[in-house]
Structure 1
């Protein structure tokens, strides 16, 4: 017997009552996400099927009813863990959004939280996420949306979050890699030379390549693509034309941009901008 072919779709919504918070409703069977990162956290709930993904260097499987947690800037992948695919919903709060809420939970102020577990089985939290995701797609009800959103993230943080290491506590090599990451993020549309990045970090080019991959999970050129994709999301949300966005973000052409976009986000730029709630 052949598995029933799942209808694939990816609907992005931008919830204006929550500062433009991104929300995704998606169904996949054949789609495989390449290694990528998000500027925000990914907090997802598997509605049907099961998803397999790489996070923190290990492979994980999230079945129906389980919650996926990916930290901001964390390299991860995504594919189906079962023949019939998976359907899920997710939100992508920025580190700034999470910092505001985490002030009440952690002693250190001004630090974004960290989720050590990639997959969480928590029936109470899953039910609250279902309520939140249903509500976010409804019109109006701003106060209810904001209240349920904050209480859901507070529940998540209190049960499954912890404080991230401060910058001062990081190894010296990691701080040098962060300098390079910040430069690439500040000018993703530009071409960058490995020798220049190595000088900035105070490392040899070979040592920089090794340390960068060690601490980010990607080589510098692949990280630069992620920075370009992040810039493209901002421009697309502002209503910028897709072809011009590709040009402004340093992609060689629109098809090159669309190919990278779909591999990382599971939809095309046109699908991403189709819904603005």
Structure 2
């Protein structure tokens, strides 16, 4: 397999998580996007630039990065330098309950974490051990689940989960509109309709929505459709029926948009690899990328 081809690990016994591995990400290019899940990544080789909401961070091998649900981000390589990473996507409701039951959050609802990146060797090593265990077909489910929860709680304890910055408080009409887009993403929505829902004029709506969410309402809607497409593919639906259900013009349009936002084709996302060999292959590809 080409070193730049992403590997996706999933296990139906642990539906709360998904792990992405890529050994040579020099050709990877993300458009700005967001996820419904909370994400925790580890840079395993090289350097990259991490755009997160309103800030840009220089990250390198040994760093961890965190992305809140719905926060716009993009992470891309620097001038063809070797770069490799692991990325864990975690169901928001599940991880919110985990934090709450552990006393690390005052509410069972999701609480945003202001920290974007960590350079903490002990947490990085713990993350790598957890990833290796998830990918190990010989490890039993209890060990996998234990490593997952212990790693996440160690990270949350370290950053002392904080509340969303008051300066980023989203006005109620925009929050309602974002929720409407989430729940009506498969409908044909006009700008006029969104203006009626929010009470904003078209120009004001586009500017205000982009200020608070990092993208225009249309870009937010497309991003939401791609995230739904990811769920459909994970459930076994074909690429063609997923593209049709999500309202894309045709299958190539869906494939181009999916790759632009997730840096992987729908086919690559469906053709995932499980087992310990996936992490071995990741490390071999990453090492080769530095040569």
Distance, in Å, in 2 between the alignment partners of 1:65 and 1:80 is 15
Give, in angstroms, the shift of residue 187 of structure 1.
Answer: 2.0
Q: 1:30 to 1:107 in 2, by over 3 A?
A: closer
Give, in angstroms, the shift of residue 174 of structure 1.
Answer: 2.3
Is 1:159 aligned to 2:155, yes or no?
A: no
Contact 2:114 2:164 in 1 (8 A): no
Give, in angstroms, the shift of residue 158 of structure 1.
Answer: 0.7
Q: 1:20 to 1:95 in 2, by over 3 A?
A: closer
Distance, in Å, in 2 between the alignment partners of 1:161 and 1:22 is 24
Contact 1:15 1:276 in 2 (8 A): no
Normalization by structure 1: what TM-score?
Answer: 0.91
Q: 1:133 aligns with which of 128, 131, 151?
A: 131
Higher relative contact order (CA 8 A, sep 6+): 2
1:7-86 alignment runs, 5 A limit: 7-26=3-22, 27-81=24-78, 83-86=80-83
In proportion to residue count, which structure has more strand?
1
5+ residue gaps, structure 1, are 1-5
5+ residue gaps, structure 2, are 275-291
**Residue matched to 1:3:** none
**Residue matched to 2:144:** 145
1:171-190 alignment runs, 5 A limit: 171=169, 174-190=171-187
Give, in angstroms, the shift of residue 84 of structure 1.
Answer: 2.4
Distance, in Å, in 1 between the alignment partners of 2:269 and 2:228 is 14
Distance, in Å, in 1 between the alignment partners of 2:80 and 2:3 is 13
Q: Could you report, residue by residue, the CA deviation over 1:51-105 in whole angstroms, capped at 9, with x for unpaired residues? A: 2121021111110111111111110112112532311111010211221111123
Contact 2:258 2:266 in 1 (8 A): yes
Q: 1:164 to 1:17 in 2, by over 3 A?
A: farther
Contact 2:9 2:273 in 1 (8 A): yes
Q: 1:206 aligns with which of 199, 203, 206?
A: 203
**Residue matched to 1:260:** 257
**Residue matched to 1:124:** 122
Alignment partner of 1:114: what SS?
A: coil
Q: Structure 1: which 4+ aligned runs deviate by more than 4 Å?
A: none
Normalization by structure 2: what TM-score?
Answer: 0.87
Give, in angstroms, the shift of residue 170 of structure 1.
Answer: 8.0
Give aligned pairs, total. 270
Moved more, 222-231 or 158-167: 158-167
